[in-house]
Amino acid sequence: MTNMKEFVKHLIVDFTQMQEFINDPLIVSEGNGLRIKDVDGKEYIDGLSGVFTVSLGHGNKKILEAMVSQLKSLEFAPPLHATNPSAIKLAKMLTEIAPKGFDTVKLLSGGSEAVEASIKMARQYHVQTGNARKYKVISMYGSYHGGTMGALSATGVLATPKCPNADGIACP
């Protein structure tokens, strides 16, 4: 693709006003260790991906080797009705290092899904213990918990544009 920047208008990026993004898009094309580069070759220290999924750096050879090994035996096993040896090994490792009493694991694909599952499990716990009216979620205002609807509902991050000259108040 010759000029990716002209095609950015076809994507939606979370927590970003799209017109502003289209005018000056950040398109990250590669990463190595704690650094990333954009399509123009400008290098950045990646201070955000570790919060999400790349806490051990981009291009980590041990992780890449483990991923390739797993892909050679099984790419995906839907968690709806089955499990797999790698999931069982990970669950065993996690329960061995977890504090006493934490002996059950729910493996999920990322932070947003983990927040959603936590909210659902907490609500189910209260239903099963006779407190079905306990359903509110308390979180730190302005904190980020993910991009899914349940995770967004547990945050104070404004997803709406700020009105010009309105002291930062969200537009109605």
H helix intervals, the chain? 18-23, 49-52, 61-73, 85-97, 111-128, 149-153
Is residue 148 a part of any domain in this protein?
A: no
**pLDDT bucket at 43, cuts 50 / 70 / 90:** very high
Tokens 């650094």 map to which residue?
Answer: 35
In this predicted structure, the answer to whether residue 36 has a pLDDT above a threshold of 90 is: yes
66 lies in a domain? Answer: yes
What pTM, to 2 d.p., does this model score?
0.66
What integer pLDDT is reported at residue 60 of this predicted model?
A: 93
29 in any annotated domain: yes
Mean pLDDT of 108-120: 90
Domain limits at 19? 1-73
Residue linked to tokens 């398109």: 27
Dist CA 68 CA 63 (whole Å): 9
Domains: count for the chain: 1
pLDDT at 13 over 80: yes
Q: Which of 27-31, 65-69, 149-153 has the lowest mean pLDDT?
A: 149-153
Does residue 57 belong to any structural domain of this protein?
yes
Compare 91 and 146 and report the one with higher pLDDT.
91
Q: What is the pLDDT of residue 125?
A: 95
In the chain, what is the straight-line distance between the N-terminal and C-terminal CA atoms, in Å?
A: 39
**143 within a domain of the structure (yes/no):** no
Residue 4 in any domain: the answer is yes
Is there a domain that residue 38 lies in? yes
Q: What is the pLDDT of residue 150?
A: 85
Asked if pLDDT for residue 65 goes beyond 80, the answer is yes
* Bigger pLDDT: 136 vs 164: 136
Q: Does residue 27 sit within a domain?
A: yes
Residue 64 has pLDDT above 90, yes or no: yes
**CATH number where 6 lies:** 3.90.1150.10
